[in-house]
Structure 1
């Protein structure tokens, strides 16, 4: 045992004394460990492998959790035997280790016998397992901190990337420390039946978060956790308005904490759109000398109160990097439990890695992949706007202005990462004369070009231009 501790990992901190006082000695500290509980776990698993090896696997115990190298090697070998269905008993274990040249590495026959006779109470297995995992977490924190300190002293060129890397490493430690128990068949069936009842319910037609657009919800099933929804359009089609209409429904009507990242418009501009669209008041009329009546003022006041009392968070950092966005989103998820993120828009974001410096497609791929990874990490849906290239203008006849998924700028990675892709357009924009423009007034369509978990197709919409608002059905009559 003394020999085992002697060979234990010693990735240590060093503390130098005050050189002016002549103290130049180094004081070292061993990493956190729990040798006794490690022996207890191995002894219990050796005596009853069927019961306790299975339990260790369920608890995501790995060879890395063990501090002593011989304990780590032995557990890895036991795990291999268990997964292969081999019987675990002392004689065959010694022989197998000998055949593989691992016997001395685990401490020899004497140490295996010591583990067998250690004989802890099986009732302490969970308690000792918790000790071992806690010490592993502490070692992981120290290792991550040491690596961060070393990289920081090396003055890396990409400081934001280092910050994001450190944050991810810390979050990974937390995730590895958490154990998710498998659902029983009863729990699984109950969940399926709950979802089935939701689909049957007239009150709720989707399993995800409702967008407020009935036809879109029917086709998509709502915006689900971990999904990335791309809304793409040419300039002036109203994609920001469409995004804010969805934000309004999710945040104000459903009361879900929501975060908006705006790379193009200021927070004041977005709130102005949201406020007057909700109040159903065309603020553009004020510039023409219109004086609002009392009911209109009341609607504006009520809408402003609703927005103030909501949990809507807007970040209008221009040219925000994907790493900065992810860091801010993580903190807001932790502090406010945000349930939805909207981003305006993808091509205005940045990726400041060296690989992205000389390749726009590489940069877009890193941004798109980063957003999809964030949606999965936070387990919330993310809607992101994207710009289309000039492809729609180059078409003729009935296809003039009609977008296709291939019109997405640097489209390959976006198409691959997105769970849903909606192409927004208004025919009025391509009308050749005033008569045709008047006939197409208010008509819009969202083409659901990709839907990983449902049907695709066109979704008719109405655009109320004065209110900068999309609606399902005919345009709302002007309110007095």
Structure 2
């Protein structure tokens, strides 16, 4: 025997956990009184039974009870006899034996939970054996990192399908939570009950960012999706820090943090954008070192001011939903979590072991996974998204919901869909050229009109809220300074410049 066989032998010599007495007692209780089925219907399934015979009997009980039919030893015997499987389930004698194994229907829920717990532990053993086998080279195509992600996905699947949570919430409890939300909005300036974004008009329109919401921020290349996302991340982090200091002292630690998953840009590039925005120094000049001493001093001063913001950047390219979930859980446990931003949706990749049939199903997995994370973590999630080229074919370039790539799943799963649009970007490309006109007068007239139009839209951006489950839709006008890739409230144009 070599060393590779030793760990597997140690596992295979153990007997997987099961509870045959609980399985027999539960089935006996169900056959004696079908009302006991209500105590286990929500979480127990035939595959949870260690004995396949018990699983088949439970499946028959489940089928008859859900059809409004009686499920007892007599009716089950007739059904099994008719389908030719009576001997496979132990015959009439075993059905009668199950009735004698019943202790009482009041304990049916406890029996069911014992069966379910044993099944969960058997699943964990299967995952453990798979992890060991893969680590010893059972699948040579899987490197260590891929194996970790595959194990995380398997564990999540068990947690997602095997652990029952939820159930009814008493209306009084839900009403209390709603009143508390309204109270927060009443006492905060601007009527913001959720997490502030740093953009006054957006907060006013949405009441801030709310827990469990999946928001999609989309736009064509060059519109400033990432710049707006970093602005929101920065504004939210600053809001969390200000709230902590208001409730404590200058050294107070925020209760939450912002997780920014940048699948396209590095953490250094994101930080440079934020610095350029706050210091009002061109990021391009910073990279080239083409700045004056005064600008550099301002740059250093701002970096010290914002260094303590509760903002965490993950620059992993092509991250999967399962890996993202794991990292968010860890961050929530260590630093608290108040907002998740993903830049951007189409750069994510499927979890190890999953191969969607097409791109639409793949994107659907991403959006459903992100919505599940938003609900599980009770935080808002903002996912950036690309738009199809259909926008470029229209005279009016303003995006519509149908322009979302794989729009059906994104639009369906999102609680809010926003588009960022800048008319200046397109108008700049349509500048008149001398060769297009047969006289200087016509060219000059066209140039004058184009310049007037450019002045009208200069440094202007629109945030179009096309879907919002919990509030109004509409347009929000914003200031956008391309030199600093900076979004701000529009009325700051005079005071800032």
TM-score by length of 2: 0.73
Look up the SS of the partner of 1:474 in the other structure.
Answer: helix
Please show how residues 75-154 of structure 1 align to structure 2 within 5 Å.
75-120=58-103, 125-146=108-129, 153-154=138-139
User: Which residue of 28, 39, 42 maps to 1:43?
Assistant: 28
Please tell me whether the aligned partners of residues 416 and 469 of structure 2 are also in contact (alpha carbons under 8 angstroms). Answer: yes
Please tell me whether the aligned partners of residues 333 and 378 of structure 1 are also in contact (alpha carbons under 8 angstroms). Answer: no
Q: Which is further off, 122-131 or 173-182?
A: 122-131
Task: Measure, in 1, the Cα distance between the counterparts of 2:2 and 2:276.
Answer: 66
User: Which segments of 5 or more consecutive residues in structure 2 lack a partner in the other structure?
Assistant: 4-8, 241-253, 432-449
Match of 1:31 in 2: 16
Aligned-pair CA distance for 1:95: 4.4
Q: Does 1:246 align with 2:232?
A: yes
Match of 1:264 in 2: 264
Aligned-pair CA distance for 1:208: 5.2
Question: Residues 82 and 207 of structure 1: is their aligned pair in 2 closer, same or farther, counting only changes over 3 Å?
Answer: farther
Aligned-pair CA distance for 1:395: 5.1
Please tell me whether the aligned partners of residues 149 and 351 of structure 2 are also in contact (alpha carbons under 8 angstroms). Answer: no
Look up the SS of the partner of 1:67 in the other structure.
Answer: coil
Please tell me whether the aligned partners of residues 195 and 239 of structure 2 are also in contact (alpha carbons under 8 angstroms). Answer: no
Deviations 1:237-263 (A, max 9, x none): 322221111101222313532222223
Task: Measure, in 2, the Cα distance between the counterparts of 1:257 and 1:389.
Answer: 33
Aligned-pair CA distance for 1:374: 2.9
Aligned-pair CA distance for 1:34: 1.2
Deviations 1:12-53 (A, max 9, x none): xxxx699xxxxx9x9755432111222222233334432x32
Please tell me whether the aligned partners of residues 216 and 384 of structure 2 are also in contact (alpha carbons under 8 angstroms). Answer: yes
Match of 1:332 in 2: 328
Task: Measure, in 1, the Cα distance between the counterparts of 2:414 and 2:260.
Answer: 18
Aligned length: 445
Question: Residues 465 and 196 of structure 1: is their aligned pair in 2 closer, same or farther, counting only changes over 3 Å?
Answer: same
Task: Measure, in 2, the Cα distance between the counterparts of 1:61 and 1:355.
Answer: 26
Please show how residues 172-187 of structure 1 align to structure 2 within 5 Å.
172-175=157-160, 176-187=162-173
Look up the SS of the partner of 2:197 in the other structure.
Answer: coil
Q: Does 1:472 align with 2:457?
A: no
Aligned-pair CA distance for 1:424: 1.5
Task: Measure, in 2, the Cα distance between the counterparts of 1:83 and 1:412.
Answer: 33
Deviations 1:122-177 (A, max 9, x none): 66555544432221112222334455667762445799777644422221222313
Aligned-pair CA distance for 1:119: 4.4
Task: Measure, in 1, the Cα distance between the counterparts of 2:70 and 2:348.
Answer: 57
Q: Which is further off, 440-449 or 341-350?
A: 341-350
Question: Residues 405 and 38 of structure 1: is their aligned pair in 2 closer, same or farther, counting only changes over 3 Å?
Answer: closer
Task: Measure, in 1, the Cα distance between the counterparts of 2:83 and 2:180.
Answer: 52
Aligned-pair CA distance for 1:74: 2.1
Please tell me whether the aligned partners of residues 251 and 258 of structure 1 are also in contact (alpha carbons under 8 angstroms). Answer: yes
Q: Does 1:170 align with 2:155?
A: yes
User: Which segments of 5 or more consecutive residues in structure 1 lack a partner in the other structure?
Assistant: 1-15, 19-23
Look up the SS of the partner of 1:475 in the other structure.
Answer: helix
Task: Measure, in 2, the Cα distance between the counterparts of 1:473 and 1:423.
Answer: 17
Aligned-pair CA distance for 1:411: 5.3
Match of 1:6 in 2: none
Please tell me whether the aligned partners of residues 214 and 374 of structure 2 are also in contact (alpha carbons under 8 angstroms). Answer: no
Please show how residues 256-335 of structure 1 align to structure 2 within 5 Å.
256-278=256-278, 287-289=290-292, 291=294, 299-304=302-307, 306-307=308-309, 310=310, 312-317=311-316, 320-323=317-320, 326-335=322-331
User: Which residue of 57, 62, 65 maps to 1:74?
Assistant: 57
Task: Measure, in 1, the Cα distance between the counterparts of 2:12 and 2:418.
Answer: 62
Match of 2:39 in 1: 55
Task: Measure, in 2, the Cα distance between the counterparts of 1:135 and 1:354.
Answer: 25
Please show how residues 311-390 of structure 1 align to structure 2 within 5 Å.
312-317=311-316, 320-323=317-320, 326-337=322-333, 338-348=337-347, 362-363=358-359, 366-367=362-363, 369-379=365-375, 380-388=379-387
Please tell me whether the aligned partners of residues 30 and 105 of structure 2 are also in contact (alpha carbons under 8 angstroms). Answer: no
Match of 2:417 in 1: 421
Please tell me whether the aligned partners of residues 461 and 473 of structure 1 are also in contact (alpha carbons under 8 angstroms). Answer: yes
Question: Residues 120 and 279 of structure 1: is their aligned pair in 2 closer, same or farther, counting only changes over 3 Å?
Answer: farther
Please show how residues 173-252 of structure 1 align to structure 2 within 5 Å.
173-175=158-160, 176-194=162-180, 203=189, 205=191, 209-220=195-206, 222-225=208-211, 227-252=213-238
Look up the SS of the partner of 1:54 in the other structure.
Answer: helix
Question: Residues 140 and 394 of structure 1: is their aligned pair in 2 closer, same or farther, counting only changes over 3 Å?
Answer: closer
- Cα RMSD, aligned residues only: 4.3
Please tell me whether the aligned partners of residues 37 and 129 of structure 1 are also in contact (alpha carbons under 8 angstroms). Answer: yes
Task: Measure, in 2, the Cα distance between the counterparts of 1:118 and 1:239.
Answer: 64
Match of 1:21 in 2: none
